[in-house]
Structures are given as structure tokens and as C-alpha cells.
Amino acid sequence: MAPCQTLFQAQRRSLPGKLSHLKTKAKFGPSPSGRARPPVRPPQRRPPAGAAASRRAPEGRRWPTGPSCTSSQRDGSGGQLGQCAPGLSVNAPMEPGSSSTEKFYRIPKGKGPHSVGCTDLMTENAVEGSFLRLYYPSCSGTDNEEAPWIPDKEYYQGLSDFLNMYRVVGERLFQYYVGSVTCPAKSNAAFKLGEKYPLLIFSHGLGAFRTIYSAICIEMASQGFVVAAVEHRDESASATYYCKKKSISEPQEESTSGLEKEWIYYRKLKAGEEERCLRHKQVQQRAQECIKALNLILKINSGEEVTNVLNSNFDWNSVKDSIDTSRIAVMGHSFGGATVIESLSKEIRFRCGIALDAWMLPVGDDIYQNSVQQPLLFINSEKFQWADNILKMKKLSSNDTNKKMITIKGSVHQSFPDFTFVSGGLIGRFFKLKGEIDPNEAIDISNHASLAFLQKHLSLKKDFDQWDSLVDGIGPNVIPGTNIDLPPAEPE
């Protein structure tokens, strides 16, 4: 999953002079059948005077560097970029044809009965530890601020690397267009006690990271799930990090913790390297990271003490005895969809799985030999899938009524991550961040079908069965199976 590649190809036009000629790959997620995509060359426009320079950090605010460890990579600017006030999602520049000088776009709030909080958890001062963002039902009425959507500038640098852009250019673009985005979950809000919540482990796509599926994770949490969104360290994320001890020779002014962030960036394919081999190795690590996250949350639930090296002020003791350990599922998008399948094959405690627009290339051949016994729901977009990928899904789910496939009409691969909500209509549709369907309707269909599926296979006592028809592909803008023309089945 390349979360915003074409968005910034379009918005690169806001850069003056020769920088506007900078090219990035026109690849948007895994390319169907390996087909090359034509390069996108948007029309060049000169920005409004001082547009990029007008975004300054509000007085007294600094770019968040993390609560406990400093970064071992500096931006070289001598300063820190700003973060706008909570609740202001993104102040987007005018789109062509707009009658307004500003538009505001926002990641949708959860529609369930619970308020939602989120917090980050990292264990161990090593790459082998776990790193995740936890979304959870929270106490209402809290005055905690909304969490930053992209919490460190190094993620902008990683996205720039992933998109083949100069870092200085990419960081400027990301900061200008999405630098003020917050997700509608309260940072470190108090955990809501009194219930046992089912647990959902979420796996991000290629080039993504733990924070950019917040619309899905927040909706699940608002409906009564605890969601652990894993940040994978297999070099498939645009960027991630772990905290390590500072060497004695390094200055200690910025932090008293004695820790610093060691960044890991996306690894590109080497010349002549077979992609399937690399992705299969990565998906195996990803599955182990999902299982490790599961074990970590269950350890906290049992009352064992866990050290969070990020040292947030969230009370982890409040999670004790709040997880329903008999109701656990796994969910993911694109490469994360393949991770769902791999995780189900390795861990029987995952009672079911949901694969959003899954990319099947990384899945090993052994998985198709009855390795996945649990129920599995494929939710596909209309525009991304191709015959070979669909045939692999069908091979996995043949003759099993608990394995379902639906397709959301008018949707695209980017209808699942948050970038579809923070891009304007014209740019979003032209560069396939948005489909023909309204992004809010598309994510509602996906979330409602997921909730109905989870209710059935986790034996939940909720009202999610009102959306049972969606799981069968019945309803507005959804079809059963696939829209892709498949070759006739060969006789056995």
C-alpha cells in the first residue's frame, strides 16, 4: 500500500521553479500483475505568494519528538516544525475550480456509543520489541487533546523515500498539506472500565505505518473493541523506529531519559531481486509481530507489569481484566491483508480475520493447503484487484461457507486508509485517492460489514447483525464476490 503517492505527485506543482519538475514513481500500491503504470505529470501551477512559507508553528507549540526519547536523525533546519491546535484536521489549499480559498478535511469520528482514546506502546530498547498504537473505549468528557495523525517529521522523510522524492521537498509538501491533521481520538485518555472488550490486531499496508488507518481503528473502538495497530519493523513501513540507549559521548540536553530514536526506513527492492521472495519473508515477520502484539496485550490484561519505553502518562494498569480473551480477531489492508492470512495460519487464538483489498503475492504456497481454518472476510475495492490476485483468494476460500468475499462498488485501493479523507475531491478522484463513491460511504460499508462478520464469528451480543446482508454482498454499492472477469474454472 503506497498511502499517498499520487496525491503528492499532484501537489508537487505547488513548489516553485525547478523543484516542480521532480519526478516520482507512478506506482500506487502493489501494481496489478506487475504492469507498469504510466507516469503522472500534472500541470504546473505557481503557488500563491508565500503559501508554503505561511505555515508556522503556533506560538508555544513545537513539533512532537516523542515523550521519552529524542531522534538520532536531525532535520538540519535548526528548528522544529509546528503542530496546529487540536481539532483542526487539515487546512488545505484551494483546489482548481474551488470558489473558496480554504477547505477543511477531517478524518471521521467513530459512530459507536463509546468515546475513543489512543496511546502508543513500545517495549524493549531493541528492534525486536513491539510497537503499536492502541485505540480503546475511553471515558467521556476528557479534556485530553486529539492525537497527532503523523507524529514525527521522520515519517514524512520515510514517505518521501518511498515515493522517490527528495526529503527536503517531500517533508515540505507533507507538512504543508497534512501537517495539522489530528485523528479524532483523545491522546492518553482514561480507559473506560466496567466491560470486557474483544481485541482486534490491525496490520498496515506497504509504505504505511501504525497511525494512518485511524478511521477504521477509531470506528472499531467506538463500537466496543480494543484495537492494537501494529507498526511493522520488517522494512515495509515508510518509516518506524525503536528507542536505544544513547552513547556516553552524545549530548543529553534534549532528553533526560538517556534514549534516542533509531529510525528504520522502507527497503526498496535491489536490482535483480525477486519481489515475491522478499515479501514472503516480510509477511512472516509481520505475522510474528501481530502475534507478539497479541501476547503483549494479554500480558497487560493479566496484570503483569510492562515497561513502556515511551513513558506516556497512560495508566496501563487500567487495562487489567478488560480484554475478552476468548474474542480476538486480526484485520489488515493490502500487505496487511496478506499478514492477516499468515497470522491466521500461525495463531489459532485469532478466531477470525478480515482482509481489506488484500495483496496476495506475499502469501506462501503452503498456506493454501488448508492452513487457514478460521472464518475470513475479503473486502475488496472495485478498482484495485486483478484476476490472478482474486483467484488466489478463491483458492484459499473454496468450499468454505465461513470465508466470504465482497466488493465495494466505486471504491479504490486508497478508500481504506485515511488519506482518502484529507485530500480534496478533485485531486482525490483524479489521483485515485478517492473513488466514484463518497469516501465516508465506502468506509461505512467496510466497517459495517466487518462488524457484522465479527459479531457472528466472535459470538458478540451486539446489534451489528443489522448489517449481515453486507457480508453477503447485498445492499447499496456492494456486490458479492468480485467484479473481475475470471477465466473459467478448469475441470478437476
Q: Of 152, 357, 418, 444, which is the active-site residue? A: 357
pLDDT at 460: 98
Phi, psi of 103 (to 5 degrees): -130, 150
Q: Give CA–CA dist 8/473, Å, rounded.
A: 34
Q: Of 334, 343, 381, 450, which is the active-site residue? A: 334
- The x, y and z cell numbers of residue 343, run together, are 497470522
Amino acid at 455: Q
Through-space distance between the first and last CA atoms of the chain, rounded to whole angstroms: 35
pLDDT tens string 92-127? 333 333 333 234 569 999 999 999 999 999 998 888
Give the least confident one: 159-168, 387-396, 435-444, 475-484: 159-168
Give the least confident one: 12-21, 264-273, 330-339, 432-441: 12-21
Give the angle 277-133-70 at the CA atoms, nearest 5°.
90
Residue 413 appears among annotated catalytic residues: yes
Q: Give CA–CA dist 323/226, Å, rounded.
A: 8
Phi, psi of 78 (to 5 degrees): 80, 0
CB 367 within 8 A of CB 396: yes
pLDDT at 141: 81
Residue closest to 309 by CA, chosen among 367, 262, 364, 358: 262
Percentage of the chain lying above the pLDDT 70 cut: 75
Q: Mean pLDDT across the stretch 429-449?
A: 90
User: How is 392-427 classified by DSSP, letter by letter?
Assistant: HHHHHHTT-TTEEEEEETT--GGGSSGGGTSS-HHH
Mean pLDDT (the chain) is 82
Torsion angle of alpha carbons 358, 361, 364, 365, nearest 10°?
A: 110
CB 205 within 8 A of CB 225: no
Q: Is 370 left (phi over 0), alpha (psi -120 to 50) or beta?
A: left
User: How is 27-65 classified by DSSP, letter by letter?
Assistant: --SSPGGGPPPPPP-PPP-PPPTTTGGG--PPTT-----
Give the three-class secondary structure for 448.
helix
CB 232 within 8 A of CB 285: yes
pLDDT tens string 363-400? 999 999 878 999 999 999 999 999 999 999 999 988 88
Q: Give CA–CA dist 361/279, Å, rounded.
A: 7
- The x, y and z cell numbers of residue 101, run together, are 480559498
pLDDT tens string 151-174? 999 999 999 998 888 999 999 988
Give the three-class secondary structure for 5.
helix
Q: Of 204, 232, 413, 457, which is the active-site residue? A: 413
Give the least confident one: 112-116, 289-293, 435-439: 435-439
pLDDT at 431: 67
Q: Give CA–CA dist 323/460, Å, rounded.
A: 13
CB 24 within 8 A of CB 7: no
